[in-house]
Amino acid sequence: MVLIDSARAYERALLSGIARYSQLHGPWIFFHKPPFWEKRPRKSLIAELRTVDGIILIESPYLPEVLKLRVPVIVSNYATERIVGLPNIVSDHRAIGRMAADHLIERGFRHFAFCGYGDYFWSNQRGEGFQQRVQEAGYNVHRYDPSGIRKRILWKKEQQFLIEWLRSLPKPVGLMACIDERSQQIAEACKAAALSVPDQMAVLGVDNDEIICHLSNIPLSSVALTAEKGGYEAAELLDKLMQGRRNTKTLIEIKPSHVVTRASTDVLAVEDPHVSRAAKFINDNCRHTLHVADVAKAAGLSRRVLEKRFRAALERSINGHIRRCRVQLILKMLTASDMTVLEIALSMGFSDAAHIARYFRSETGMSLAEYRRQYCPK
């Protein structure tokens, strides 16, 4: 039995990983959580649960009853960090926040903000990770505080609070929202406040929910997670438990894999037009082998002058930016495509798979195989 909603991208990715495991090692017979499942009479729910061999669920008020069934259970809980005594699906929320911060720092922002939901620990942890990384870079974070806002307030009313807060922020600002739904609300509030996204307000969410990210008038960037891989590993563990095999694994960790960049953060917060032109040239052409001389020519400056201005604006060298962009493209192709390492290598101008493997390790400290093992769906 899988007691997981399919309304959000995170849950759908978990279900996709579970389905993939079943296709390879099943077949399993699924009882997927239907709409309004928990509104049915408690007795009928428990009676139905007694017919299953194993359960994967995301937080439920019926967890005490579920545990009495004496079948293997794997749980993912939003309300607390983990449930002791059970295998847990957990997300590395602080790492998610840190990746979001790196994405905005790399774009030259000097002002940062975080907007979450104050009464959810996962939102607070993402905010803490974001703030910690920003402070390490020497900057501060403005955090939206919804504590004074009454719960269950109408969105139209809360939007007014958000608009006032957004207008009060220094500009340009890089803003992380705790989840894509929140980033979409931010984008709508920016539109109502006549704030330009991404020029005044770069907005970044979490989950890479394709539907939510394209609901806004400007497509929203988002931190992608390894939820599909987590679903596969949860199904693999449940299979072992249902077979009565010994289990030593207690955590299935969902990690941030990469940032899917869309229009809401596709900007550089730099005032120097030559640096902006150079960085855009690099971003647009990083699939190919680039030399600093090519970038300087595109920017209309000498190599020496551009290098100095580039470092002043973005705190890294031109070569450093080229390498960073190429690594980000490799990560995207590793996680979001079915291309082999050799196909990726050849598409980016590397001579062979060994060449790109050496390049990737030198830039990340991790082998391609290790990265795929940790972050890519099985």
Whichever domain contains 340, its CATH number is 1.10.10.60
Q: Are 211 and 165 in contact (CB under 8 A)?
A: no
Is the model's pLDDT at 32 over the cut of 70?
no
Q: Are 262 and 220 in contact (CB under 8 A)?
A: yes
Is the model's pLDDT at 150 over the cut of 70?
no
Is the model's pLDDT at 325 over the cut of 60?
yes
Q: What is the pLDDT of residue 33?
A: 61
Q: What is the pLDDT of residue 245?
A: 84
Q: Are 236 and 228 in contact (CB under 8 A)?
A: no
Query: What confidence category does residue 274 fall into, taking pLDDT thresholds of 50, 70 and 90?
Result: very high
DSSP 5-70: --SSHHHHHHHHHHHHHHHHH-PPPP-B--TTGGGS-HHHHHHHHTT-S-EEEE--TTHHHHHTT-
Weakest-pLDDT range from 18-27, 63-72, 197-206: 63-72
Is the model's pLDDT at 160 over the cut of 70?
yes
Same domain, 240 and 116: no
Same domain, 136 and 215: yes
CA–CA separation, 127 vs 177, rounded Å? 9
Q: What is the mean pLDDT of residues 187-192?
A: 95
Same domain, 246 and 367: no
- In the chain, the number of structural domains is 3
Portion of the chain with pLDDT greater than 90, in percent:
58
Query: What confidence category does residue 41 fall into, taking pLDDT thresholds of 50, 70 and 90?
Result: low
Is the model's pLDDT at 153 over the cut of 70?
no
Is the model's pLDDT at 297 over the cut of 90?
yes
Residue 50 or 180, more confident:
180
Is the model's pLDDT at 369 over the cut of 90?
no
The continuous run of DSSP H or E covering 112 comes out as strand 112-115
Q: Tell me, what CATH number does 232's domain have?
A: 3.40.50.2300
Q: Is the peptide bond before 41 cis (omega within 30 degrees of 0)?
A: no
DSSP 115-165: E--TT-HHHHHHHHHHHHHHHHTT--EEE--GGGSPTT--HHHHHHHHHHH
User: 10 Å Cβ neighbour count for 85?
Assistant: 9
Q: What is the pLDDT of residue 184?
A: 95
Same domain, 73 and 185: no
Q: Which of 265, 289, 317 is the last residue of a domain?
A: 265
Same domain, 194 and 248: no
Query: What confidence category does residue 268 fall into, taking pLDDT thresholds of 50, 70 and 90?
Result: confident
Same domain, 194 and 131: yes
Portion of the chain with pLDDT greater than 70, in percent:
90
Model pTM score: 0.85
CA–CA separation, 66 vs 137, rounded Å? 46
Same domain, 303 and 204: no
Same domain, 104 and 127: yes
Give per-residue pLDDT as tens, 61-108.
777 777 788 888 899 876 667 788 889 999 999 999 999 999 999 999
Residue 269 or 96, more confident:
96
Mean pLDDT, the chain, whole residue set: 88
Most confidently modeled range among 27-36, 75-84, 153-162, 356-365: 356-365
Same domain, 245 and 289: no
Q: What is the pLDDT of residue 321?
A: 93
Residue 252: which residues within 8 A CB-CB, separation 6 or more?
Answer: 74, 87, 88, 89, 90, 230, 233, 234, 237
Q: What is the mean pLDDT of residues 223-244?
A: 92
Same domain, 252 and 333: no
Same domain, 79 and 130: no
Is the model's pLDDT at 39 over the cut of 80?
no
Domain that holds residue 352: 273-375
Determine the 3-state secondary structure of 204 from DSSP.
strand
Q: Which of 352, 346, 292 is nearest to 318 (CA)?
A: 292
Same domain, 169 and 203: yes
